Amino acid sequence: MGTNTRSAWMVAGAGTLWGLISLFVHALQADGLTSLQIVFFRNLLAAVILGGIIAAKERKFPRFRLRDIWMFLGTGMISIALFNYCYFAALERSCVAVASLLLYTSPIFIMVLSAVLFHERLTGQKLLSLVLTVAGCACITGVFSESQAVAWTTVLLGLGSGLFYGLYSIFGKYALREYNAMTVSFYTFVFAAAATAPFCGADSFRFVAAHPQDLLVGIGLAVVSTVAPFLLYTAGLNGIQASKAAVLAIVEPLVASLLGVIAFGDSFTVWTLLGMVLIFSAIAVLQLPWHRRVEQIHG
């Protein structure tokens, strides 16, 4: 298996594990944990778990040079923390369909930023994959099946969630030039937890003290849908373009939709099926082996 193919599978695997997050979030929300508290809880536990893994494996604590702190401020505070804030704010002002669709505009931002920062070529293949991806997400979220009236503030917040969600690929690309995937992921969690701690840290600790059984759910959230996918995604960035990684990771809403139908009894409509087909098609287009020959003919 070639490096590009292996990296593509890593990124797709990360998207799959991220798509399972609702299993843990539903359980925590049912006991009364707020969305912001879950964000803090998730990143703090992830940092502790991953820090322990690194210490056991390398016999030392991961370090970074102070001049590189901007990379981890970027992946943790700017990307992960602000993405969550914008996404939850959009959810408060609109329905899940609109917020989700606006979130998954992230590949558009990634593709443009990658072209500017990494000089990645905007090929017809990438643009077609983008169109199929956005259309697929729109179908899955149900935007085409009902009329939506969205305030411009909600649109800005939703687009902000897509921008900050996508910026992890950009900052992560820079960080991987200097540090390994585990170090990048660890400090991402540390800085993301630090960003949310002043707003909900104390309340989160009080909640866990009153509901100790939820610590196991939180650990499951941290391992299955946080540490593992971030490691896979960050490592995958080593062998694949950031713009391709952003599109491949959008297998997440596909998995989340299937999980909603199977585990939570969500309705399965023709639009859902069409959205899944479109997303699979986007992934297939992006990985077609003959795209380089086509680019050479028309380039």
Query: Which of 88, 108, 109, 107 has the alpha carbon at shortest distance from 99?
Result: 88
Instruction: Report the amino acid identity of residue 69.
Output: I
Which residue matches tokens 């087909």?
Answer: 277
Please indicate whether residue 11 or residue 94 has the higher confidence score (pLDDT). Answer: 11
Query: Which pLDDT band, with edges at 50, 70 and 90, does 290 fall under?
Result: very low
The whole-model pTM stands at: 0.73
Distance CA 280, CA 285 (A): 9
pLDDT of residue 70: 93
Tens digit of each residue's pLDDT (9 = 90 or more) over 36-79: 888 898 899 999 999 998 888 887 778 889 999 999 999 999 99
> Closest Cα partner for 196 from 52, 103, 63, 83?
83
CB 28 within 8 A of CB 217: yes
**Residue 178 belongs to what domain range?**
3-298
Count up the domains in the chain and report the number.
1
Share of the chain above pLDDT 70, in %: 84
Angle, CA of 154, 36 and 105, to the nearest 5°: 40
Quote the CA–CA distance of 50 and 158 in Å, as a whole number: 30
pLDDT at position 155 over 60: yes
> How far does the chain reach from its first CA to its final CA, in angstroms?
28
pLDDT at 276: 73
3-state SS assignment for residue 212 = coil
Dihedral sign computed on CA atoms, order 219, 221, 227, 228: positive
